[in-house]
């Protein structure tokens, strides 16, 4: 099983050296800092059980996708970890006049079925350089609005990517982002009173999920684990237990 992918020693066999774990495009880091400051008065982001990021520099990170605010939460949380993951994005988004340059600037990786081999190699190079890759297996905003534990169907792309790159998968469950930015609204719904800030909870798995090579079975295992994490995160958010806050 392929669960504990580590970077090779610096310069070994001509491979890239380990990067500085704080490394990332300066504009990326600046944006993450700015966003963190802007959302803090309105949204309380609790990030829990993220120790995997301390022991594994790279992995394929999978997250559920309920709201456009998911991207903001991911930016804040990974900035707190001094990690700057690259995101897999459908290739057609790179054709936009505005979004295309922004995606390239952020180091996003295009993906389409017609050129899958080349894009998979690009993803491998990103992991070899020490950056995690973030994927939303549902592909689109999913889940029932009244059920925070619900998920849409998972595509097999994340586990195929992990298998190709010899990487483990790290699930992250997000709960509460759709209360900040419901999918039927054009803009976020920020609270204005500090004591009534929105509460978003991010819960990481305590280990990497190994990939066996059976795309369908691996995808189902990842999805089942995500459901378990969502149930746990929902209970923790309801209890509002003390937690580390970014």
76 phi, psi to nearest 5 deg: -65, -45
Closest C-alpha to 57, from 126, 159, 148: 126
> Per the structure block, which two tokens stand in for 142?
């999913």
Question: Can you give the pLDDT at residue 82?
Answer: 87
Distance, CA of 184 to CA of 131 (rounded, Å): 33
206 phi, psi to nearest 5 deg: -90, 5
How many other CB atoms are found less than 10 A from the CB of residue 31?
Answer: 15
The answer to whether the CB of 217 falls within 8 A of the CB of 10 is no
Q: How many CA atoms lie within 13 A of 69 on its CB side?
A: 28
Cβ neighbours of residue 211 closer than 8 Å, sequence gap 6 or more:
1, 2, 3, 159, 162, 163, 167, 168, 169, 218
Q: Are strands 60-63 and 133-135 parallel, antiparallel or unpaired?
A: parallel
Question: Can you give the pLDDT at residue 119?
Answer: 77
Distance, CA of 103 to CA of 87 (rounded, Å): 9
Question: Can you give the pLDDT at residue 9?
Answer: 30
Question: Can you give the pLDDT at residue 191?
Answer: 62
Question: Can you give the pLDDT at residue 29?
Answer: 81
Question: Can you give the pLDDT at residue 2?
Answer: 42
The answer to whether the CB of 203 falls within 8 A of the CB of 149 is no
How many other CB atoms are found less than 10 A from the CB of residue 34?
Answer: 11
Tallying the residues shown for the chain, one arrives at 246
Distance, CA of 210 to CA of 221 (rounded, Å): 10
pLDDT lower than 50: segments of the chain: 1-22, 241-246
Question: Can you give the pLDDT at residue 24?
Answer: 58
């Amino acid at each position: 099983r392929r669960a504990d992918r580590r970077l090779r020693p610096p310069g070994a066999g001509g491979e890239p050296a380990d990067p500085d774990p704080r490394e990332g495009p300066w504009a990326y880091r600046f944006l993450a800092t700015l966003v963190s400051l802007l959302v803090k008065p309105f949204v309380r982001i609790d990030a829990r059980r993220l120790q995997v990021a301390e022991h594994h520099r790279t992995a394929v990170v999978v997250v559920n996708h309920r709201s456009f605010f998911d991207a903001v939460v991911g930016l804040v949380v990974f900035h707190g970890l001094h990690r700057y993951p690259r995101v897999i994005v459908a290739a057609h988004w790179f054709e936009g006049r505005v979004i295309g340059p922004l995606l390239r600037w952020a180091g996003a990786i295009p993906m389409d079925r017609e050129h899958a081999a080349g894009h998979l190699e690009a993803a491998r190079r990103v992991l070899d350089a020490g950056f995690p890759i973030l994927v939303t297996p549902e592909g689109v905003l999913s889940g029932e609005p009244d059920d925070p534990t619900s998920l849409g169907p998972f595509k097999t792309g994340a586990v195929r990517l992990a298998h190709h790159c010899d990487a483990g998968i790290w699930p992250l469950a997000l709960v509460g982002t759709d209360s900040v930015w419901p999918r039927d609204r054009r803009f976020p719904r920020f609270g204005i009173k500090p004591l009534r800030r929105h509460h978003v909870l991010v819960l990481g798995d305590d280990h990497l999920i190994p990939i066996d090579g059976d795309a369908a079975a691996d995808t189902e295992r990842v999805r089942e684990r995500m459901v378990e994490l969502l149930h746990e995160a929902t209970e923790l958010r309801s209890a509002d237990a003390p937690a580390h806050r970014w």
